[in-house]
Amino acid sequence: MRKQLKWFMLAVGVQATACGGASDFQGTTPEVTTPEVSTPETAPPSESAPGDVEAAAVDSNTLFADALGTGWTDWSWATRNLAATSPVASGTRAVSVTFGPWSGLYFHHAGVPTTGLEFLELQVHGGVTANPALTAYATVATQARPTVGVNRYCDGGTIKAGAWTRCRVPLSALGVTNVTLDGIVLQEGAGRTLPVMTFDNLRLGTSVAAPQGVSITLTPTSASLATGATRTFTATVTGSTNKAVTWSIQQGASGGTVTSAGLYTAPQTAGTYHVIATSQADTTKKASATVTVTRPPSGGTGKWVSGYYTGWNADLYPPEKVDFSAMTHIIVGRATPRTDGTLSTAFDNSNGPAMARTLATRAHAAGRKAIIMVGGAGEHANWVGAASNANRAKFVQNLLSAMDSLGYDGLDIDWEPVEAADKPNLLALVKELRAARPGMLLTFPIGWINTNFASDVDPWFAQLAPYLDQINIMSYEMIGPWDGWQSWYTSALYGHNGSHPTSVSASLNGWVAAGIPKAKLGMGIPFYGMAWRNITGPYQSFTNWSDYVGSDNSFTYKKIQQLSASGTYRWDAVAGASYVTFSSPVEDGTVRWISYDSPQAIAAKGAYTRDNGFGGTIIWTINQGCTDPATGANPLLDAVKGAFLQ
């Protein structure tokens, strides 16, 4: 009974580590207590294959190759078979595993010195699951060292479904360089039950010296892109002073285009293509990268709808009620950087990590993508410190660890404001994230444009575009009681002039003129309104700052609907904007009109996006569009679905 209890506590302890506790990331691991790994008095039996498989003729640096390596035993607590015959990466047998939430494949040894070794290498076959969250840790004297995400260390930054992927996890990341380790654990890292996946050729290794003569490598070796998207490939030539290469695409023009600098643009047809780099020093030496091109998730229009979901008002729109059929991406906010390069993942909610995991799980079940919003207003000093030269590498690892732990597909880099001194480190951060995880999603929100000031259009931001999947304009609250301005709409589609110099169309076209591709630009749609007193509608002179009553988080669509019962709905065809006026003031007894995006305004914005070739839209926030938390009714989200995805 004591033996069984100790093993049960190990399994439960590991699950508690991954599920709860603190929500912050320090270094490369979650800020949680890793359980002590207790040595069972006898190794637990394999649940799918009786006993331990006899070791093959390999040394102790091999954990498994057709069978367990010399001295290695199976202490796993996941359902597994150490004699699976299909699929295999090489030889005749592999390890098949059916992971439950946080369960693990655990191989134990009396002690293997790691001096001179560099990485844990393995082959993994995802089965029917694309990029399942996989973590790893090592043990020393049966004590667990840091837990790290495995996926980022796999070829192409992802674990493929239906194919073998090689992964090399540095021993330095596992915290076991120049020590004697006695265990390696591969663990499900997102709290999910996974269909069967398979492992083969697990070993502790070191890099092999490159052969003499010219050789060429490509980074990344594989990538997944949406139709029309871009990715920069880098070729490295060794063995010659001539580092030049010639770029080509194996499938010719039908496979996309590639520039002399290695910038690849995917074709409009989904498929698998190959980017080739040929050494000019030795044209017999080539390197190839596989590119999987898919149509973006949508209702068939090819446009994206990226809805922000914020933890601080989750009660307005419970995670279980979110309608994923109306979006292609959900952006869950927010994780916040710290000046030392660590990251808080509290999501402004007492149950933030659990909320975030629920949303990611539901998004993936619906075939949608999940993105973590990082930063936001008020976080500028933290961005500056985290992305500094001293902290950036650690910050990148913490961002990727958060993605892996919570089961997300990408990051929304919400750096506000971007000052001139910030630009080098912001660009370096985006480049390093893209290099570390080529297949991840990277999005970036950008400011609206005052057409009276050409300086609002900064061409520097075009330098970010090759590394980003979406650049979305925060085209809301585009008005204030500023000197020389007339009253205007929060998010007018057209109609800008000198006394109200903002519109969505002007901002979109201004950023295109600055060098950002249309296909990567999205507009912003607010699911809240701006309320005003003293003045009674648009095109009027402000009296003073007291004219402004409230907006974000105060005047949700539900409140606007309730107030509108005593008001008059109006449509400005010149501006493409909707609003409601009140003959008798409402709310605090002073509100005379509210500017907001009605379904009519959303329909106009969807038509403009589709007619003019822009990428899609962001919503701030889908929480504020919900009118009934019990049913999840969200009329504005329904309107966006019809306007952008159908």
pLDDT for position 312: 96
- Give domain status of residue 570, yes or no: no
- What are the tens digits of pLDDT across the range 131-142? 999 999 999 998
CA distance 35 to 14: 6
Distance CA 349, CA 556 (A): 19
Token pair listed for 9? 């506590």
What phi and psi values does residue 588 have, to the nearest 5 degrees? -100, 15
Distance between CA atoms of residues 354 and 350, nearest Å: 9
DSSP-derived secondary structure letter, 55: P
Q: Is 616 helix (H, G, I), strand (E, B) or coil?
A: strand
Residue 6: band (very low, low, confident or very high) from pLDDT cuts 50, 70, 90: very low
Q: Is residue 210 predicted with pLDDT exceeding 50?
A: no
133 with 266, same domain: the answer is no
Chain centroid to Cα 139, Å, comes to 30
Question: Is the model's pLDDT at 309 over the cut of 50?
Answer: yes
Encoded amino acid at 331, one letter: I
Minimum mean pLDDT among 17-31, 261-275, 559-573, 627-641: which range? 17-31
State whether 34 and 107 are in the same domain.
Answer: yes
In the chain, the number of structural domains is: 3
- Residue 300 banded pLDDT, cuts 50, 70, 90: low
Any domain includes 192 = yes
Rounded Cα distance between 190 and 363, Å, is 14
The three-class DSSP label of residue 36 is strand
Q: What are the beta bridge partners of residue 43?
A: none
Is residue 116 domain-resident? Answer: yes
Same domain, 192 and 252: no
d(CA 344, CA 321): 26
Q: Which of 205, 233, 266 is the last residue of a domain?
A: 205
> Nearest Cα to 555, choosing from 591, 524, 584, 582?
591
Residues 197 and 280 in one domain: no
Q: Looking at residues 87-95, what average pLDDT do you find?
A: 91
Mean pLDDT of 392-412: 95
Which ranges in 295-391 belong to alpha helices (H)?
352-365, 380-386
Query: pLDDT value at position 37?
Result: 40
CATH number of the domain enclosing 137:
2.60.120.430
How much is the average pLDDT of 106-124? 94
| Cβ–Cβ under 8 Å, residues 189 and 133 | yes
User: 188 and 262 share a domain?
Assistant: no
DSSP helix/strand/coil, 425 = helix
Contact 401, 432 (CB under 8 A): no
Residue 222 lies in a domain: yes
pLDDT at 18 over 70: no
Q: Rounded to an integer, what distance in angstroms lies between the CA atom of residue 381 and that of residue 364?
A: 34
Whether 27 is covered by a domain: the verdict is yes
Lowest mean pLDDT among 82-91, 353-362, 443-452, 541-550: 82-91
Note the helical H segments in 92-146: none
Is 519 in a helix, a strand, or coil?
Answer: helix
Least confident of 36-40, 411-415, 458-462, 606-610: 36-40
Give the mean pLDDT of 354-372: 94
Report whether 285 contacts 279 (CB < 8 A): yes
Predicted confidence (pLDDT) at residue 488 exceeds the cutoff of 80: yes
**Same domain (yes/no): 9, 147:** yes
Q: What pTM, to 2 d.p., does this model score? A: 0.59
pLDDT the model gives residue 156 = 80
User: What is the extent of the structural domain holding 132?
Assistant: 2-205
Give me the percent of the chain exceeding a pLDDT of 90: 74
Name beta bridge partners: 493: none
- Do 195 and 331 reside in the same domain of the chain? no
Instruction: Indicate the pairing of strand 530-533 with strand 548-550.
Output: antiparallel
Q: Are residues 173 and 194 in the same domain?
A: yes
Domain end marker among 205, 229, 245:
205
Domain assignment present for residue 586? The answer is no
314 and 335 inside one domain: yes
Both 241 and 109 in one domain: the answer is no
CB 507 within 8 A of CB 494: no
Residue 532 covered by a domain: no
Q: What integer best gives the mean pLDDT of the chain? A: 88
Shared domain check, 381 and 331: yes
Quick one: 49 and 121 in the same domain? Answer: yes
Residue 100 has pLDDT above 70, yes or no: yes
Give the pLDDT band (50/70/90) at residue 14: very low
State both tokens at 348: 């402004």
For position 367, what pLDDT does the model report? Answer: 87
Q: What is the H or E stretch that residue 74 is in?
A: strand 73-74
Calpha distance 222→526 (Å, rounded): 37
Instruction: Summarize the chain as % helix, strand, coil (round to 5).
Output: 25, 35, 45
**HSE of 205 in the Cβ direction (CA atoms, 13 Å)?**
16
Does residue 496 or residue 152 have the better pLDDT? 496
**pLDDT value of position 208:** 54
Top pLDDT among 208 and 508 is at 508
Scored b (16 or more CB within 10 A) or e, 270-292 reads: eeebebbbbbebbeebbbebbbb
Report CA Rg, the chain.
Answer: 27
Between 364 and 461, residue with greater pLDDT: 461
| Chain centre distance of CA 426 | 17
Within-domain flag for 26: yes
Run of H or E including 25: strand 24-26
Q: What is the CATH number of the domain that holds 255?
A: 2.60.40.1080
- Residues 6+ positions from 476 with CB-CB distance below 8 Å: 490, 491, 524, 525, 526, 620
CATH number at residue 519: 3.20.20.80
Least confident of 49-63, 167-181, 294-308, 530-544: 49-63
Q: How far apart are CA 423 and CA 435, in angstroms?
A: 18
Mark which of 171, 186, 205 sits at the end of a domain.
Answer: 205
- Coil, strand or helix at 85: coil
Average pLDDT of the residues in 312-328? 96
Give the tens place of pLDDT for each residue, 249-270.
Answer: 999 999 999 999 888 888 988 8
Alpha-carbon 392 to chain mean position: 18
The dihedrals phi and psi of 209, each to the nearest 5 degrees, come to -60, 140
